[in-house]
Amino acid sequence: MTATRSDALVFFGATGDLAAKQIFPALQALVRRKRLDGPVVAVGRKAMSKDEIIALAKKSLTEHGGVDEAAFGGLSEKLRYVAIDFDDASTFARIREALGDARHPLHYVALPPDVFEQVAKGLAAAGLAEGARLVLEKPFGHDAESAKALSAALHPHFPEESIFRIDHFLGKEPVENIVYFRAANPLFEAVLTNQHVQSVQITMAETFGVEGRAAFYDGVGAIRDVVQNHLLELIACLTLELPDEPGHAGLRAARARVLTQLQTLSPNDIVRGQVKGYAKEKGVKDGSTTETFAVLRLALENDRWRGVPFFLRAGKSLPVTATEAVVTFKPSRKPVLEETASPPPNRLTFRLGSEASIAIASNVKKDGESLVGTSKELALHLASPDALKPYDRLLGDAMNGDASFFASKEAAEESWRIVDPVIGDVTPAHAYEKGTWGPAEAAKIAPEGGWLDPR
């Protein structure tokens, strides 16, 4: 049965930072690609006229990607605005009025999770839940218990199949390509097992700090901000058992299944760090021990991956801005032909940043008479600059009812279960200098042969 396409889009948080940087550019792209039908109702806390919200949208596009005059004209015609007061039921009635004849809206909520239930309840009371979809921005809860409670609170208003938990990381072309690359290339899929893989390491590094977001970040930290969601979902894409059935249900279930098989972290599996100077940022609480860096070691308990260590490293104020996953294969343990040392191991690297690529490092003979070699990297794929941006893809998918790259209820709860024991002051946050790879104490958690620093 084909899902009914959403005939309108309502987005809460229209005057926020995420809307400015990501959502308005995504809406313009959806209009340009003819994937956005019906009215677009922007909802925010400030009182604004239609002209003012159009001006805000144009400012956003000017600063983040550029204005496409034709597409922006189409978006401006669709755009309406409603100022929200969560304690005033008439707010949701005004949203109903702004939607006109639309009967299957997509409600996208870019607000803190503590208001998700209130929004869902208000939408339902105004008759805006039946036949609608609800997209919720991360984080979904703040630990496993709150994630379960939140789902239970939403279900009286929206059935599970109508709830889309968004993690924009899953909408990135290079992340989606990991799954396709595995499925379409049996040669590589066959060796992604504990029989051949020595270790997997994932780095998500940023050269910048909290950049004016300290009040938010201080209550979150690196583990909640990127490990619990982005990096665990990346592990799931790298390690899931490819589903036999087509469509989104099998893929979502496969990712969730892997997360159930990841061991719960303990304090021995993590080192936290805090960059020097963080405590002086405006909005940081006195004596804060929030981590701006974390390195972790994880293990998967299934037949395919048992015994392969997974290493995660994430942080701010590091030497480069880059995200990559490196699969290191078991090396030859003896020299080859005329060499005096064993050749370096083969590696499969998924680079996920602005210069996204899939690359394999292999050993080839050096030019000359001697039978000795060198390691060379072959780039198998370079991302197109015209690739869909994450929010273009995910909002369009949600309007179509395609949940392939959205986190399921089970995945959200399992990802919190994995990190819950190491959140907060369970381990100390060691100081580190800006522009370094974290505190010296982080060296105790590292792959065999050390970390491979992204270029």
First to last CA, the chain: 47
172 φ, ψ to 5°?
-75, 135
Please give the angle made by the CA atoms of 26, 160 and 228, to the nearest 5 degrees: 65
Task: Give the active site residue among 157, 230, 248, 430.
Answer: 230
Contacts of 379 (CB under 8 A, 6+ apart): 357, 358, 359
Angstrom distance (rounded) from CA 278 to CA 290: 9
DSSP code at position 138: S
**Backbone dihedral angles phi then psi of residue 222, each to the nearest 5 degrees:** -65, -35
3-state secondary structure of 100: coil
* Annotation says 230 is catalytic: yes
Tell which phi-psi region holds residue 239, choosing left (phi > 0), alpha (psi between -120 and 50) or beta.
Answer: alpha
Distance CA 13, CA 203 (A): 30
The CA radius of gyration of the chain, in Å to the nearest whole number, is 23
For residues 110, 115, 120 and 126, what is the CA-based torsion angle, rounded to 10 degrees?
A: -100
Cα distance between residue 327 and residue 361, in whole Å: 10
CA distance 77 to 99: 13
> DSSP class of residue 137?
E
CA distance 235 to 250: 17
Supply the residues annotated as catalytic: 230
